[in-house]
Structure 1
């Protein structure tokens, strides 16, 4: 039993909290110190607000018990100064006062007090208020620990993200290298390529390769989805549509005499379909256009497998969509694909493009659409060669209002000039 503060005997576990008792009455400080020490706290005394403030600058106390009315610096002023001190952890502040008016309590809360104790102090109430403060301090420490853990985790994640970002930048360079020659002049014809992923890497692929001295194959592919998985499948397709060796290029074959032969466009699509379903076995599909062009005669045979309709820009300025649609590749086993045959006239141009061009949206949310793209093609019909694709992209960037795209952009422009080989 502690004399002078009450007769209640309290048995509590030992704790190690640091408590600062501030009161100009030495007797009151000793009464509070005796109870707190008995409960296991490390107690420091101060006889004034100024002395207490100096102690708080030198050490971090968990709980402060301060009298309100003191000569010199009042408890209210001390509380205000206490809150202004730099601290790594929170300090719980209890004002000891005989004041009970609402405006005075509000004043104490306004300068940073957490709780109030009426004088003379009841030991049971004191212990209850101290325990409430400990609970708050415990939650604060737990929160601080979790914040430190979160900060450490975020730092680690940032490191992983930076490493991944560097890898993706290199992957983008590698993917762009798959399209080595963006423009090629064949004399009687020319071909230009556009490939612009919406992110670091994308699932679009464009390209061309020579079938024989007078025949050129060109293609546009759009793998479903975005990101690394789509880019990896696009990279694998690039290998299947670039090698001059019959066993490496899915469009080439060997005839009975061992000579190199070519598969017609509809069979190339069928072989790609079978390869995706039976060999690769991924949850992805693709749309594509594959064309086989005679650069001398102007004949073009192509297959459209779910890709947007190619646009035929005539030498006379006419614009028409060609193709029959067709099924995407990699969805249905045994899917059949139909060939479309064209005969280009000198000056005609054939444009293959991904749906990133037709489905891009303006600031109002409206899509470009096939008609909108056809209008852009008409407006830029006089632009020669590979500059036509640059002009087209400039128009699309102006349409979106930001130049940022939610889907990959890719296109192939085949121009037939005619004349002798």
Structure 2
């Protein structure tokens, strides 16, 4: 191997051969000339050197392959017919070699038949030059190859930048994902108590967001010695904004700080009483519109339940209709709907009453249940919910709610797109002393 231009380091003996540069500082393109004719190699090398290329030479394809294992030429000019390995075979092996960049391969041949050209292209050649090689035509073919190599380099650089950007995005996503996992734990902690027995009655809660965090919230709190408040909330939208809104609302309906619970009113004797459900919804509506300054709104179901008499007073503000599963297995839906909270100024709400008999259950569920969609079928709706409640009536407490969620997953092929939350109150009869 030798060069017809300035002396270069032997690529076989020194793998660290630096990339040659021109007087302007730009990297020179390397061209490997492969021909068994020494004279032909010298002619081509002289033409290429004058055009500003660094030239490497090989007298056989085998020698050329050895060079290519040490240095990656940008261009290869290879004779087709050579002793030993032919140019076609060399092109096959050249294409199979691992490279950082693309190598432009030009076959030198006297063959002009279409079948010969097709064979060369199938072997991986990019272009052809007829022998004897015309200098102007050679420069034109190399210029065309330069455009390909320049585009390939630009594409690699863009891919590198894209890979770097994707890596940064993945790192950011992983960080956000970790934060959301923690946020999910915090949101679940808002429901501090999932089950409580009052002796003759019990309350069970379920909260299952469709993503890491959601906009649903359920809970209960004592109003006084014989009454409890039950509530379900569904904030518009999904994700972090909705989750933050639920956290804010959880503070307004706190079961641990009655002085901060806006559903409670302190009497002149220092005892707490419950605000009328319709008044509570109206108060929350004003609070959201005037103080929170947010575009979010929410649906609400709130029930004031007497643990001794079984009397229930409730308000439905855009939430799905509450259901009463009677002891005989029948299902009744209550309420007339009502406007969501935080949507329209001055919205009016209505308090609805009912009475639970021993064995009756009050079910307050979110629209993630009634609006669940089985494949190729309409939403479950109230009719489907009633069927589920009847089917599960032999179960009680958390087992009832877990089974309800599993049934929803089964019916929708585990494709629940909305948060699922519910409150289940089970009344077994009057109790004289409530703790």
* Same structural fold, with TM-score higher than 0.5 when normalized by the shorter chain: yes
Distance 2:110 2:344 in 1: 85
Distance 1:300 1:248 in 2: 23
Shift of 1:70: 1.1
Q: Are the aligned partners of 2:274 and 2:304 in contact in 1 as well (CA < 8 Å)?
A: no
Specify the alignment match of 1:411 in structure 2. 422
Specify the alignment match of 2:196 in structure 1. 184
Kindly indicate whether residue 369 of structure 2 is the aligned counterpart of residue 368 of structure 1: no
CA offsets, 1:3-37, max 9 Å, x none? Answer: xxxxxxxxxx9861011111111111111111110
Kindly indicate whether residue 77 of structure 2 is the aligned counterpart of residue 65 of structure 1: yes
Distance 2:422 2:30 in 1: 72
Distance 1:43 1:395 in 2: 74
Q: How does 1:7-406 map to 2 (within 5 A)?
A: 16-245=28-257, 247-255=259-267, 259-401=271-413, 403-406=414-417
Distance 2:44 2:287 in 1: 84
Distance 2:27 2:157 in 1: 20
- Provide the secondary structure at the position in 1 that maps to 2:223: strand
| Residues 1:384 and 1:245: Cα distance change in structure 2 (over 3 Å) | closer
Q: What is the root-mean-square deviation in Å for CA atoms of aligned residues?
A: 1.6
Deviates more, 1:246-255 or 1:77-86: 246-255
Distance 1:15 1:36 in 2: 15
Distance 1:365 1:152 in 2: 44
Distance 2:334 2:175 in 1: 45
Specify the alignment match of 2:4 in structure 1. none
Specify the alignment match of 1:6 in structure 2. none
- Provide the secondary structure at the position in 2 that maps to 1:308: coil
Shift of 1:39: 1.0
Q: Are the aligned partners of 1:188 and 1:417 in contact in 2 as well (CA < 8 Å)?
A: yes
Q: Are the aligned partners of 1:246 and 1:254 in contact in 2 as well (CA < 8 Å)?
A: no
Distance 2:379 2:353 in 1: 30
Shift of 1:256: 5.2
| Residues 1:149 and 1:15: Cα distance change in structure 2 (over 3 Å) | closer
Shift of 1:73: 1.1
| Residues 1:418 and 1:15: Cα distance change in structure 2 (over 3 Å) | closer
Q: Are the aligned partners of 1:15 and 1:41 in contact in 2 as well (CA < 8 Å)?
A: no
Distance 1:122 1:112 in 2: 23
Specify the alignment match of 1:4 in structure 2. none
Q: Are the aligned partners of 1:198 and 1:404 in contact in 2 as well (CA < 8 Å)?
A: no
- Provide the secondary structure at the position in 1 that maps to 2:153: helix
TM-score (normalised: structure 2): 0.91
| Residues 1:155 and 1:128: Cα distance change in structure 2 (over 3 Å) | same
Shift of 1:257: 6.1
User: How many residues of Structure 1 are paired with residues of Structure 2 in the alignment?
Assistant: 409
- Provide the secondary structure at the position in 2 that maps to 1:212: coil
Q: Are the aligned partners of 1:241 and 1:249 in contact in 2 as well (CA < 8 Å)?
A: yes
Distance 1:181 1:257 in 2: 29
Distance 1:247 1:155 in 2: 50
Q: Are the aligned partners of 2:278 and 2:315 in contact in 1 as well (CA < 8 Å)?
A: yes
Specify the alignment match of 1:9 in structure 2. none
- Provide the secondary structure at the position in 2 that maps to 1:386: helix
- Provide the secondary structure at the position in 1 that maps to 2:313: strand
